[in-house]
Structure 1
Amino acid sequence: MDVDLLNHLVENRRNPSRSSYDYLHLVDLRDALSRQLRHERGLWLDFGTIVSPYAALMPNATVETADLVSDAPEDLKPTYEFEIGEKCPAPDAHFDGLISTQVLEHVDTPANYLHEAHRMLRPGGRIVLSTHGIWEDHPSPGDYHRWTTQGLRRLLEEAGFAVDEVVPITCGIRALSVLTLAYLRPLPWNSDSRTFRARMKILDYASLAVNSLLSLRQSDRFGTEGAIEGHSRLYVDVVVRGHKPR
């Protein structure tokens, strides 16, 4: 993967096409993260990526990256590299904040990952983390976990964090539309066939129409932790803000 392609993928995550099946999810995630990050300062770590897709949301902070050792070219290497089962080489109590977006579901031992995040934060340091509630299986190479709001809160508290806020995002009918479009996306036809191309074009138009319509419905964007009725019971993602106690 070259730098231009990676930058294109990062830009598409922050500003997705309205015809994308996951458009509603990506814009809700971006805006939820922006609300948590836009006033942050100091030194932050994006833990689990070679390029931080949401660093632009925190213009007053310095963002470093950490990820597993890979064969990526030198100009795509993260700030810190480590092998599976090893600690990140960043020092103890080094960062003012840590961001983790759509990583935790791919970690086979989430408790170890969060204890490592806790180690690298200074006392009082903030963590902003997002991961999936309900979502399709997407191994890359592994996809191990999904969470409820209460389950994710407990996981962070057991790792030593004080949890300040847990927000389910892309809820209710927005969640149903994203999951339905995700279900329709894999098609059984040969990619060279006229039928395949026609079906893909129809799906793009359907996605554009659904996403445009539901973009007008703001009430299902963000939910309430622990709701026992209403749209907050169904959500495709969870965003958590917490801190390391002093």
Structure 2
Amino acid sequence: MSSDDPAEVSVGSRLIASLVAARYFAALKSHASGRLLDLGCGKAPLYGVYETLASEVTCVDWGNSLHQTTHLDKEADLTKPIDLPDQAFDTIILSDVLEHIPVPLDLCREIARLLAPGGKLIMNVPFYYPLHETPYDFYRYTEFALRRFMELSNMKVIYLEPIGGAVEIISDIVSKNMMKLPVGGVFAARITQAASWWFARTRLGSKVMKKTSSKFPLGYFMVAERPG
């Protein structure tokens, strides 16, 4: 599971945070290298993982971020051209960011510009997920939209997979609403999240996730490459 500190991860979001983190841990070890850029870094929760894999790390976020940006190196509005040189990075992280960008294709093309040939984009987006960081929550993307963004940006998808399925969606919705209960809500949400995490790791839970995730994904995870 993800962090037990509610200041870092809300109790109602621990399941999706854990599912996403597991994919980042695996993808970073396989694909992160060289000069790494964390776009929309926020608290940079993956910093402890990728700092040991990269030769240089640059964390970028905008000045209106709701998160404490401890590792921030540069402020930039990701809805506009980013003041960084062409082909400057070998790895770019885009974690839970694209849904907050009003013209997503512009940012995808900007990422392609910033990546060196052979460089990798590692990213995730939510799908069946509540509104967050409003009013800057604009879209939910299907896998087909993500593939199209990469195609139009001259990027090649290495792999694109759903995160979670019907059980995880139900758990996420129920937990977040339990949190609103005046008595026992946080405890109930904690138990629901833990039970769902345990079930997802069983053989049956894995089968249910794979069976339902194609139509009912909680989110998506993608690795793409700028061709060399």
Structure-2 residue corresponding to 1:31: 22
1: distance between equivalents of 2:170 and 2:20? 16
Aligned partner of residue 117 in structure 2, secondary structure: strand
- The superposition leaves residues 181-203 of structure 1 with CA deviations (integer Å, 9 ceiling, x where unpaired) of 2233334xxxxxxxx13344344
Instruction: Give the counterpart letter for 2:84 in structure 1.
Output: A
RMSD: 3.3
The 5 Å alignment of 1:65-144 reads: 65-70=59-64, 76=70, 78-83=72-77, 85-144=79-138
Q: Which residue of 1 aligns with 2:160?
A: 166
Q: Select between 75-84 and 128-137 the one with higher mean Cα deviation.
A: 75-84
Identity of aligned residues (%): 21
1:164-203 equivalences under 5 Å are 164-187=158-181, 196-203=182-189
Amino acid at match of 2:183: R
CA deviation map 1:105-127 (0-9, x unaligned): 11111111111111111111111
- How has the CA–CA distance of structure 1 residues 234 and 111 changed in structure 2, closer, same or farther, with 3 Å as cutoff? same
Measured after TM superposition, the shift of residue 18 of structure 1 is 11
Partner of 2:36: 44
Larger Rg: 1
Is contact 2:164–2:213 with CA below 8 Å preserved after alignment? Answer: no
CA distance in 2, matches of 1:231, 1:118: 28
* 2:165–2:212 Cα contact (<8 Å) kept: no
Name 1:64's counterpart in structure 2: 58
**2:15/2:196 contact within 8 Å kept:** no
CA distance in 2, matches of 1:111, 1:23: 30
Unmatched tracts of structure 2, length 5 or more: none
The alignment's TM-score, normalised by the length of structure 2, stands at 0.82
Q: CA deviation at 1:206?
A: 4.1
CA distance in 1, matches of 2:77, 2:194: 41
CA separation of 1:52/1:199 partners in 2, compared to 1, >3 Å: closer, same or farther?
A: closer
> What CA distance in whole angstroms lies between the structure 2 residues aligned with 1:84 and 1:172?
32
In the comparison of the two structures, how many residue pairs are matched? Answer: 223
Find runs of 4+ consecutive structure 1 residues off by over 6 angstroms.
13-19, 221-224
Partners of 2:142 and 2:86 in 1: CA distance = 30
SS of the residue 2:44 aligns to: coil
Instruction: Mark the CA change 1:69 to 1:13 in structure 2 (over 3 Å): closer, same or farther.
Output: farther
- Aligned partners of 1:101 and 1:25: how far apart in 2? 13
Of the structure 1 ranges 96-105 and 197-206, higher mean CA displacement relative to structure 2 is found in 197-206
In structure 1, the residue matched to 2:47 is 55
- From 208, 222, 228, the equivalent of 1:240 is 222
98-107 vs 141-150, greater mean Cα deviation: 141-150
The residue type equivalent to 2:218 in the other structure is V
User: The residue matched to 1:235 in structure 2 has which SS?
Assistant: coil
Distance 1:96 1:236, change over 3 A: same
Partner of 1:6: none
Query: Residue 76 of structure 1: SS of its match in structure 2?
Result: coil
What corresponds to 1:190 in structure 2?
none
Change in CA separation of 1:169 and 1:220 when aligned onto 2, cut-off 3 Å: farther
**What TM-score comes out, normalization by structure 1 length?**
0.76
